[in-house]
A and B are shown apart, each in its own frame.
Chain A
């Protein structure tokens, strides 16, 4: 009996480690930017009617969301209805970062699918994306009143993520 105990303990230990390892998504790399100031940029807007450029400092004093998207991005399509729903709720402003895209395609995408963004900035060469540690579009950042990144969602925002993580965090940050 005692002889079986040690292999059993070893097996259980291994099983627990494997269970933890397999249930995590290796594509989700924790961002070192969470808790740090959102990197500065000045970029042209996709809809220049409201002003020629956008900078994160324009949003100072407000909680806001930065969503990295592109018309070529397949998962963005999946995420789009969720973002539209979020925009309708009018919780906080949602700003788009149109990542490595053709402005013509991007504008067409917004006309066809609906526009959840208060504005979109054009990151044509992906430089700003690199500063934000973007490696898989779509990605979404929650930025607080002081301009600090408080949360990063890698991959599409789902209603689940919105309900359990983003909305409670926004409520917390708006206080």
Chain B
């Protein structure tokens, strides 16, 4: 009973703290889904913040909109479509794979592989360069290594 009482107080404090957000639904399931969707979305006003974390006016409006769509029973994919059809793929932190985003998705791996190939070629070239000493040069090297003089 005491635990429950404590919980109620804790929640009340939390709700009071979150007062100016005016949650449309007090349903924690809806809020949880809202959070998981909004974290995938970019706030267009302050582009380095997610929609979940932004205090911008537009972000609050969009969260309100998403909350309503959740309450209306729309699926996550439908909600994503709603936002992408208005703001474009840019609103998603993880844009879908399609011809215009191929470079975006594969670019880093292509660069990594190109770098590795380049490195291997370079090392290989250096080695084969070292192998091609003329007999005269090899004789000189042997003399130098043995510490003697010509």
Interface residues of A (CB under 8 A from B): 26-27, 29-33, 100, 125-127, 129-133, 135-136
Contacts and interface: CB of A to CB of B under 8 A. Distances in A.
B86 A32 contact: yes
**B interface: dominant SS:** helix
Contacts of B47: 26-27
B86 A33 contact: yes
B40 interface: no
Interface in B7-51: 44-45, 47
5 tightest A-B CB contacts, nearest first: A135-B44, A133-B86, A32-B88, A29-B90, A126-B61
Given A100-B57, A126-B61, A130-B65, A30 B88 contact: yes
B62 interface: yes
Interface residues of B, number: 15
A131 B44 contact: no
Contacts of B58: 126, 135
Nearest to A126: B61
A136 B56 CA distance: 11
Given A26-B47, A133-B86, A136-B45, 9 more contacts: A29-B90, A32-B85, A33-B86, A126-B58, A126-B61, A127-B65, A130-B62, A130-B65, A136-B44
A68 B135 CA distance: 82
Contacts of B65: 127, 130
A29 B43 CA distance: 12
B84 interface: yes
25 contacts: A26-B47, A27-B47, A29-B44, A30-B88, A31-B87, A31-B88, A32-B85, A32-B86, A32-B87, A32-B88, A32-B89, A126-B57, A126-B58, A126-B61, A127-B65, A130-B61, A130-B62, A130-B86, A132-B86, A133-B86, A133-B87, A133-B88, A135-B44, A135-B58, A135-B87
Contacts of B89: 32
B41 to A, nearest CB: 12
A11 to B, nearest CB: 14
A129 B62 CA distance: 11
A34 B11 CA distance: 46
Contacts of B44: 29, 135-136
A26 to B, nearest CB: 7
B61 A135 contact: no
Nearest to A39: B86
A31 B61 CA distance: 19
B45 A29 contact: no
